Amino acid sequence: MRKAARALGLRPPARSVRVPRINFVSGLEDGAWLLFGLARAMRPAVCVEIGSARGLSACYVGLALKEIGAGRLYAIDPHTRTDWNDRESVDTYRLMQRNLRAFGVADYVTVVRDYSDKAAAGWDRRIDMIFIDGDHSYDGVKRDWELFVPHLREFGVAVFHDTTWDIAPDHALNRDDMGVPRFVDELRRQGYPVITLDRHHGISLVQPTAGGVPLVRS
Q: What whole-number distance in Å separates Cα of residue 59 and Cα of residue 35?
A: 10
pLDDT at 151 over 80: yes
Give the integer Cα–Cα distance in Å for 212 and 218. 14
- Between 17 and 180, the more confident residue is 180
Output the DSSP codes for 63-128.
Answer: HHHHHHT--EEEEE---S--SS--TTSSS-HHHHHHHHHHHT-GGGEEEE-S-HHHHHTT----EE
Distance in angstroms (rounded) separating the CA atoms of residues 16 and 91: 33
Contact at 8 Å (CB) between 48 and 148? yes
Instruction: Label residues 110-121 b or e (16+ Cβ within 10 Å = b).
Output: ebbeebbeebbe
Instruction: Specify the 3-state DSSP secondary structure of 49.
Output: strand
pLDDT at 17 over 80: no
Domains of the chain, with CATH numbers?
24-206 (3.40.50.150)
Per-residue pLDDT tens digits for 103-147: 999 999 999 999 999 999 999 999 999 999 999 999 999 999 999
Closest CA to 163 of 123, 126, 192: 192
pLDDT beyond 90 at 81: no
CA atoms within 13 A on the CB side of 141: 24
Minimal CA–CA distance to 47: which of 207, 157, 163, 212? 157
Q: What is the mean pLDDT of the chain?
A: 89
